[in-house]
Amino acid sequence: MISLRNLSKRYGPRLAVDDLTLELKPGAVTGFLGPNGAGKSTTMRLILGLDRPTAGRALIGGRPYHRIPAPLRTVGATLDARALHPARSGHAHLTALARGNGIPMRRVGEVLERVGMAQAARKRAGGLSLGMSQRLGIAAALLGDPPVVMFDEPVNGLDPDGVRWVRKLMRSLAEEGRTVFVSSHLMSEMQQTADHLVVIGRGRLIADAPLPEVIASSSLSAVVVRSPHAAELAALLAAAGAVVERPGEHDLVATGTTAERVGDLAHEAGIRLHELRAREASLEQAYQELTSGSVEYRSV
C-alpha cells in the first residue's frame, strides 16, 4: 500500500505538489493522470525517496522509502527507461541489483523471461531500443517480487503488441494482490487498464475515484431511463445528488450517477423500468473536463 499524507514539494517559488493525501490499495491498478507539469513525476520521486518533501509524508507499507530494508523486495519502479549504464548488459544490470538487495540469482532469468527479454539479455543497454529498455526497466521493477510496483509512462516506445502486453501485465500484477501505480498520457489505454484513477493538476488533487465514477462525472455521460413512474424516480435521483432532465412524461436523463445506482434506487423504491441504459463518455472526454482549468502548457 502507498499512503500520501499532506504531501507537498516546493522548488523555489513553484509548488510542484500541493498537499496531496491519497491511499493506494493493493489488488488494483491505479492510473495516475494529469497534464504536463501537473506534478506526477515529482510525486513518484517523492514516494521513492529521490526527492525530499517540503511537507507531509509518503509511505510504502507504512514506512518512508529510506527506512525500507532491501527496498526492491518491497517496491519496484521504473521512472526512466533510459536510466541504465550504456555499456552494461541487461543481464549484468539485473544481476547487480539482485546482489545489492539479497535477491536470489534465479530471479534474474525469471524476470527476463517474463518481460520477453531472455534472448536480448546480453546486449549492451546503449544498443537497446526504447521499447526494449522499457521491458528491461519493468524486469528490474519485478526483480524483488515486490508487493508494490510503480511505472511512469511504461508504454512509451512500445509497438501495439508491446502495449497490449503491458496492459495484461498490469492487470495480472493487480490480480496477484499487488499495489500497481501507473502514470500515462494514453487515455484509451488507461480506460482499458485501470480500476481506479488519481487525477492531479498543478500539483493539486482533482479526482480520486474508481474509473466508472470518473467517467460518469463527465457532462457527456448520462443514464437514460424510461418509466411510467419517471417523476417519482427523478425526485429520488435528485435527492441522491444527480442532475435530472425530463425530455418526456415517461423519460428522464440523469447525469452525475451510474446505471447501476439508478437501477438500485428504482428497485428499492419498487419502481418499474421500461428502459435503462448508460450513455457513456470516453475517459479522454471526462479527463479533459476535469483538467480544463489546470493545463499549464496549452497549445494555441
What is the pLDDT, as a whole number, of residue 295?
65
Domain spans of the chain, in order of start: 2-210, 222-279
How much is the average pLDDT of 169-175? 96
- pLDDT band at residue 298, thresholds of 50, 70 and 90? low
128, 120 contact by CB (below 8 A): yes
Sign of CA dihedral 246, 280, 33, 97: positive
- What CATH number has the domain spanning 2-210? 3.40.50.300
pLDDT digits (tens, 9 = 90+) for 63-104: 999 999 889 999 999 998 778 788 889 899 999 999 988 999
pLDDT digits (tens, 9 = 90+) for 34-47: 998 899 999 999 99
Q: Where are the alpha helices (DSSP H) in the chain?
A: 40-47, 90-100, 106-114, 130-142, 160-175, 187-193, 211-216, 230-239, 259-269, 283-291
pLDDT digits (tens, 9 = 90+) for 204-252: 999 999 998 898 888 888 999 999 999 999 999 999 999 999 999 999 9
Residue 15, burial from CB neighbour count under 10 angstroms (0-12, 13-18, 19+): middle
pLDDT digits (tens, 9 = 90+) for 110-140: 999 999 888 888 888 788 888 888 999 999 9
Question: For residue 252, how many other CB atoms are within 10 A of its CB?
Answer: 23
> How many residues are given for the chain?
300
- Which has more confidence, 27 or 133? 27
131: which residues sit within 8 A by CB, 6+ positions away? 157, 158, 159, 162
DSSP 3: E
What is the pLDDT, as a whole number, of residue 257?
87
- Residue 253 to residue 230: CA distance in whole angstroms: 10
How much is the average pLDDT of 19-31? 96
213: which residues sit within 8 A by CB, 6+ positions away? 258
How much is the average pLDDT of 183-207? 94
Residue 289, burial from CB neighbour count under 10 angstroms (0-12, 13-18, 19+): middle
Residue with cell 425530463: 246
- pLDDT band at residue 296, thresholds of 50, 70 and 90? low
How much is the average pLDDT of 14-20? 95
The CATH architecture of the domain made up of 222-279 is 2-Layer Sandwich (3.30)
How much is the average pLDDT of 171-198? 95
> Is pLDDT above 60 for 299?
no
pLDDT digits (tens, 9 = 90+) for 262-291: 999 999 999 999 999 988 889 999 999 999
- pLDDT band at residue 300, thresholds of 50, 70 and 90? very low
Give, in order, the Cα–Cα distances in Å from 64 to each of 20, 53, 135.
16, 11, 27
